[in-house]
Chain A
Amino acid sequence: MKVDRVAIRFLRWLVFVCVLLCGALLAQQQASPTQTQDVLIKNAVVMTVTHGNIKNGSIYVKDGKIAAVGENVSAPAGVAVVDAGGKFVTPGIIDSHSHIALDDDVNEATSPITPHMMMMDAFDYQDKAIYRGLAGGVTTSLLLHGSANMIGGQAVVIKHKYGLGRDAMLFPGAPRSIKFASGENPKRVYGSRDQLPSTRMGNFAVQREALVQAQDYMKEWDNYEAKVKKGDKDATQPKHDLKLEALADVLRGKLMVQIHCYRADEFLNEIAMAKEFGYKIRAFHHALEAYKVPEKIAAENIAIATFADWWGYKEEAWDAIPWNAVISMRKGVIVAIKSDSDDFARRLNQEAGKTMRYGGATEDEALKMITLNAAWIVGVDDRVGSIDVGKDADLVIWDGYPLSSFAVPNKVFIDGGVYFDRALPGFGMPQYREGQ
């Protein structure tokens, strides 16, 4: 018994020292997050997404970018080598619909039009959900406003570099997105308070009215600026209005419009509204009835961010079918599978795998739904979403076939740095009890 206790004490001490060492290593890394170590990942099945799988492939990561990928990759002597042990490597997963790390500040549900809400202002960069998504292979997430409002707030795009500071986690240069919503949620939220909107007619009237106000606002400013240009010194400057300014940015095409929308008829209404006011819709989110009108959606080059098989949780989700993703994809719609949940964000690879069962998506098609297509929705497909030279080195080494029930990430790289490593519990998690 005594020996056991001594042994346990020794082990505890050992763990403690290990944790200290990891901490020290991490501190070093954190001190200069831009100095990511160059690395050669070899002996991997590389699932590139854009150009098939490379058996016995290697990836050379330099300065946080993918510098080379293929069967024969040369890297300078002395570069750190990670042996993937014949396992699969995929691009980091991209979650195109997330509400993590917002500490429940998801909906400013006090007015159906709140385009000037900035999710960045609520972003809680220490939320454990960021780490847990990372542990499931997610490297980029689009954090959206909720669906209480017809026009909600502006999204923030993050990389899951858990352990770093707030600004270090923002996706540099990611385009701005705004959340719109339709259907049951706005009408339930405001209808239950005897306010407008309480019907779908009300929903769209509120949305149209806001966009008309934005047009007027723009005109007012255009007139003013024209007068100033002509040298009219008496021209009075219109008021700056944050809300209308944000809506004007929608009309100017400066914001990508991401619409929470379930029903087939509402896709058509939203498309008509976008045409009426001259903005483009980037994606319909949830989009559980996309399979009913896929051609109409594809014709506008609108993507969908949908669930693999969720259904029946409310009336507008009653016609959901798990074949939605593949039927829509076959008709030309860009399809992503997203989480919309702290839980699902941890296993999007399994959700993507379901599209192979429901409708027979190929491996590449299924993988695209959580990588490249999702990246397109977020507007960062030139930067992430596939394993191609020049892209950010956001990579996942899995311990099994990723599109299955059985795989979990062994290591996750973001911009070439390791942010999750199963071999080192607690890695990347200062002040976290993980592994202690």
Chain B
Amino acid sequence: MNQFSVLSARFSVFGSRVAAGLVFAALFACNPASAQTKAVVLKGGKVLTITHGVIENGVVVMENGKISAVGAGASVKIPAGAQVIDVTGMTVYPGLIDSETNLGLTEISAENMTNDLVEPSDEIMPHMHTADAFHAETALIPVARINGVTNAIVAPTSTDTLPGQDSFIQLDGKSADEMLLVRDIALPLNFTGEQRRRESWEKRKYPSTRMGMAAQLRQAFIDARDYEGKLAEYDKKKDAAAKDNKPEPLAPKRDLRLEALLPYLHGKKQIVLAAEGPSDLETAVRLANEFNLKIVLNHVSHSQAVLDYIAGLKVPVIVGPIYQEPKPEERFDTVYSLPAELHKRGVKIAFATYDAHGVRNLPYQAGFATAFGLPYEDALKAITLNPAEIWGVADKLGSLDAGKTANVVVANGDPLDVKTDVKRVFIEGREIPLTNRQTVLRDMYSK
């Protein structure tokens, strides 16, 4: 990246060009397709089912937004009146799932007024909901779709220890309500050192060390536990008062911050625990165990030395990104080989771009991981079925099976290869136009 593009713009004035661009983008951004009315049949393709192998010359039938049949050519009955699309020579596979993005939270990285990435005013912000900022009409989603990404986690960026809750989205819909499949699906807990408040020696504030981060987190969960106790006590008193026909006791004051932590305190929802190196990882896991948190690990890019420990935790890992650079003392391929090494130890892995503009490149990470030993089928799983299972939506997504949501991709080659051109994307059986502001610009200037 050029040296300044990452600097936040000091002047976050909304240039008229940006405004015009956004208006222009909005015209092409949402472009929601209407609900599927007619059955659609994809016939003759190489079908990567994920759950039951590869079917050459296969047939996929989509009806009422769902996959109604998948099978070998002759074995599948084609519904009367269906639109039959010949996809001979093409590869057919389920929509891809990106396990961490900032989609809908940013347009132009350097233009701060277009960013809703994280609330930096405090570190313990579990009551921030990415769903509240999610911009359904973002120009970035139609760009992400052109490589077959149909679902994604939307997460805040990682500069707070508890930055707020993730959403699980579908990359098409008429409104945010339609696109936000699961609000508050998980809560990131970031423990990488990046969360220390040490912009400069003068501007240091608590927590400026990992001790501070851990203490602050511990206090937050203790406060949540106490808050829960108070609520329980109140419920008891209220019940007793009702029984005795006494006036209702005073309810404890609502605390949104602590309230937001309650489902996580009980492992009802998952904490996405981010750490990079072994010491951060072990500190954060110890902390999570103190409060019986249910965790999914995130990143662990510099934890090659403790892979058996990670495997022993028996939790899934969102790995990478594979492009993260090694530390100076690490092998050149230490991060490249991490997905394969985790997989070898029986860890369920999923890939994420941790990006917004680059979400379309999700499949290439999985491809690159195969060059360092990850079996091909497992690489494909790590962007389809594994994330569906990790995020609790495997009954609907992640494979081509009858009964699942008809999120289906048709491409002219290997889904994991940079050369492959995605030709069709279906979301809930609707064919999504593969246009976006970039294709519009392309067409405008190639005349």
Contact = CB atoms under 8 A, between A and B. Distances in A.
Interface string B321-356: 001011011111100000000000000000000001
A340 interface: yes
B328 A128 contact: yes
Interface stretch (A9-17, A315-323, A387-395): A315-323
Interface in B101-123: 107-111
Contacts of B143: 311
A435 interface: yes
A327 interface: yes
A405 B17 CA distance: 36
A323 B333 CA distance: 30
Interface in B363-386: 363-364, 367-368, 370-372
Interface stretch (B2-10, B163-171, B186-194): B2-10
A109 to B, nearest CB: 9
B442 A315 contact: no
B74 interface: no
A327 B111 CA distance: 28
Contacts of A408: 371-372
Nearest to B18: A315
A146 B108 contact: no
Interface stretch (A58-66, A73-81, A212-220, A348-356): A348-356
B110 A314 contact: yes
Contact of B325 (A260, A310, A311, A343): A343
A208 interface: no
A322 B15 CA distance: 24
B368 A341 contact: no
A433 B330 CA distance: 7
B357 A319 contact: no
Interface residues of B, number: 54
Nearest to B15: A315
B228 interface: no
B371 A406 contact: yes
Contact of A318 (B1, B18, B332): B18
A226 B88 CA distance: 78
B419 interface: yes
B83 interface: no
A188 B331 contact: no
A381 interface: no
A206 interface: no
B18 A188 contact: no
A340 B1 contact: yes
A425 B331 contact: yes
Task: With a 10 A CB-CB cut-off, give which of A189, A350, A403, A435 has the most chain B CB atoms.
Answer: A350
Given A132-B325, A185-B3, A405 B140 contact: no
A86 to B, nearest CB: 17
A147 B9 CA distance: 15
A131 B2 contact: no
A107 interface: yes
Interface string A402-414: 0111111000000
A313 B418 contact: no
Given A317-B5, A321-B438, A350 B364 contact: yes
Nearest to B360: A309
B417 interface: yes
Task: With a 10 A CB-CB cut-off, give which of A323, A357, A408 has the most chain B CB atoms.
Answer: A357
B201 interface: no
A147 B2 contact: yes
A170 B415 CA distance: 40
B416 interface: yes
Contact of B21 (A319, A327, A342): A319
Contact of B2 (A260, A291, A357, A405): A260
B372 to A, nearest CB: 7
B421 interface: yes
A273 B6 CA distance: 29
A192 B110 CA distance: 14
A342 B2 CA distance: 11
Interface in A256-294: 260, 286, 291-292
A313 B15 contact: no
A23 interface: no
A400 interface: yes
Interface in B183-225: none
B332 A434 contact: yes
Contacts of B371: 399-400, 405-408
A95 interface: no
A404 B21 contact: no
Interface in B10-35: 10-11, 15, 17-18, 21
A188 B10 contact: yes
A310 B355 CA distance: 12
A315 B107 CA distance: 9
A9 B6 CA distance: 47
Contact of B438 (A188, A311, A314): A311
Contacts of A107: 3-4
Interface string A107-129: 10000000000000000000010
A128 to B, nearest CB: 5
A99 interface: yes
A313 B438 contact: no
B230 to A, nearest CB: 46
A404 B2 contact: no
B442 A309 contact: no
19 contacts: A107-B4, A128-B328, A132-B325, A188-B7, A260-B2, A291-B445, A311-B438, A312-B356, A312-B357, A313-B108, A315-B111, A318-B108, A319-B21, A322-B438, A353-B417, A400-B371, A405-B370, A405-B371, A425-B331
Per CB-CB distance, the 4 closest pairs between chain A and chain B, nearest first, are A405-B367, A314-B110, A146-B3, A353-B418
Interface of B: 1-7, 9-11, 15, 17-18, 21, 107-111, 140, 143, 323, 325-326, 328-333, 356-358, 360-361, 363-364, 367-368, 370-372, 416-421, 438-439, 441-442, 445-446
